[in-house]
Structure 1
């Protein structure tokens, strides 16, 4: 299968690219190379005859048409997105332009490509989204695919809008789509503005480890390589027009996650221990959702997929990766906004 992956130089997208190539798929990586993208993320497959790269922006419809005509993919996996909640608070316009207008452009380009090819039955448009579109849970309950949308940040609102567009293009035009909504990802190549890498890198630098509010916010943590495996599973076996929630089955409070990382660093890099002395509670972000949790029943029962990596194992692998790949993360620390507190303008 030839797969066009949008955002394939990003964190989750690059994991999909690496796994798809490893499994023998032809992969076209389309990426605008914005601040959070890094081609080093796909260096391990860059020389493969199965891999090609297109520097293009999903906000540019003409560029999308040209790429699709040139490569004629059998499937599109749409991961390109602005994804940092704090940045969406400071600059929501970029999120609307990329996540909403960009998705519209890609849907229209994909529809034109699908029609031009005679509407092949095997074609798929796989839209990758987030559990944040469902809003916030209380102390109990879990998100299912039927949970009403209730986004609370500009980021999650823009992703909710893109989900609705994808569904509408299936219902109105018959475009063969599948959708997935995932929980919080973590793992190697995670851009250093997100929680897990912030904890690791601040600890290594002896800087305060910021924890929003009182650290009681709960997330379901999904190892990125598990997520990539689930996405390819849905692409291959998912029912057209169906959505699937992908969770790690690893709920944890933010403060507990931070303490696990500190303990791992105490073990692996003891010269700076104890790292939990650096934990610092800071003002919460505006509209911070209390809890996310995924009910993975549908993907488990219909497609036979479930995560293979526990949060303890995944965090151990992640910490070790950051310790072993200092050159990678140091090169990204000079990018705009990295290391600064964002999302406080509300």
Structure 2
């Protein structure tokens, strides 16, 4: 199988490519990434010489750059490419709409034209909006996005659905809870807290710190997407969640405890606009229909993540330097 993975130099995409090369050594993977601040070719340095792996620097909005790849013949597309940081979407909504929605439409159109056998749209539970103290998001939950980021992802999801209903393009949509693990860009909560705690810097917490997320170790997510790619029923949506609900303060305290750092490092800062209070995923569908279940518990996943960042601080410093030099 020849698989185009877009956004494959980012956090989840690079973990997915490494996982897939280890599990499916006979498949061919073409990594299409624009290499924005969040994309890093070093994330895949260990597979660079693998004959089953190829990197193409391109924007998913650039049809002319992408079309030659599709002309070669592509069996599947897994679309991870997206602007994903909510704070940045508040500052630059247009960029998120153009990349996340218009870019997805370009990929869909090429997939339709060149007969791609499966298009997997990797989305987010944020398209569902926010939950109260109880309840879980299901695949039937209405789309009620509350940030420009989640709205742009919801728009992309609707385009993917439309290409299935209108043109018969074989698609699946996955909606995952918050991922964490190796190679995550250090603006995100868990790597930011690990980095700052290791350097005895203040740990910024939005508002009261009681916003709840369902935490999913990235390798568990990769296994789920692989199952959907190979066994998912055309046209279906699959929620992927770790069933590990923790509020931000609980996450931070877990990291501080593992690192033996004091809670006096915690600093509460002004909350961001439109900050969803709680996300939680019902993943019964993918569990029952495809046999998926997470292998990492929250505590073991956090320990693995902390260990990775401790052993790869040079990578973190390189990413932060790249971000500073680009003015981001």
TM score, norm. by length of structure 1: 0.92
Q: Name the residue aligned to 2:124.
A: 130
In the TM superposition, residue 265 of structure 1 has moved relative to its aligned partner by: 1.1
Q: Report the Cα offset of residue 128 of structure 1.
A: 0.4
- 8 Å Cα contact 1:54-1:67 kept in structure 2: no
Partner of 2:13: 13
| Whole-angstrom distance in 1 between the partners of 2:131 and 2:272 | 17
Report if the CA contact (8 A) 1:219-1:253 is conserved.
Answer: yes
What residue number does 1:60 align with? 62
Q: Does 1:290 align with 2:285?
A: no
1:1-346 counterparts in 2 under 5 A?
A: 1-23=1-23, 24=25, 25-70=27-72, 72-114=73-115, 123-266=117-260, 273-274=261-262, 276-336=263-323
* C-alpha distance in 1 between matches for 2:321 and 2:271: 25
Counterpart-to-counterpart distance in 2, 1:16 and 1:199: 24
- List structure 1 runs of 4+ shifted beyond 6 angstroms: none
Gapped regions of structure 2 (runs ≥ 5): none
* Residue correspondences, number: 325
> Residues 162-219 of structure 1: CA distance to partner in whole angstroms, max 9, x if unpaired?
0000000000000000110000000000001000011011112221100111111000
SS class of match (2:321) = coil
User: What displacement does 1:137 show?
Assistant: 0.1
Distance in 2 separating the partners of 1:36 and 1:165 = 25
Moved more, 41-50 or 170-179: 41-50
Structure-1 separation of matches of 2:324 and 2:215: 24
Separation (CA, whole Å) in 1 of partners of 2:323 and 2:52:
33
Q: Aligned-pair distance for 1:336?
A: 3.6
Shifted more, 255-264 versus 41-50: the winner is: 41-50
Given that residues 181 and 244 in structure 1 are in contact (C-alpha distance below 8 angstroms), is that contact kept between their aligned partners in structure 2? yes
Q: Is the 8 A contact 1:176 1:240 kept in 2?
A: yes
Q: What is the alpha-carbon distance in structure 2 between the residues aligned to residue 56 and residue 91 of structure 1?
A: 21
Hey, what's the Cα distance between the residues in 2 that align with 1:30 and 1:124?
17
**1:337 Cα offset (Å):** 6.6
Cα distance in 2 for residues equivalent to 1:252 and 1:335: 31
Separation in structure 1 between the aligned mates of residue 190 and residue 324 of structure 2, nearest angstrom = 17
In 1, the alpha carbon distance for the partners of 2:42 and 2:224 equals 23
| Mapped partners of 1:334, 1:150: distance in 2 | 36
For residue 74 of structure 1, report the CA deviation from its aligned partner: 0.9
TM-score, normalised to structure 2, is 0.97
Q: Out of 135-144 and 201-210, give the one that drifted further.
A: 201-210
Once residues 333 and 322 of structure 1 are traced to their aligned partners in structure 2, the CA distance between those partners, rounded to angstroms, is: 13
- Mark the runs of 5 or more structure 1 residues left unpaired by the alignment: 267-272
Distance of 2:60 and 2:28 partners within structure 1: 20
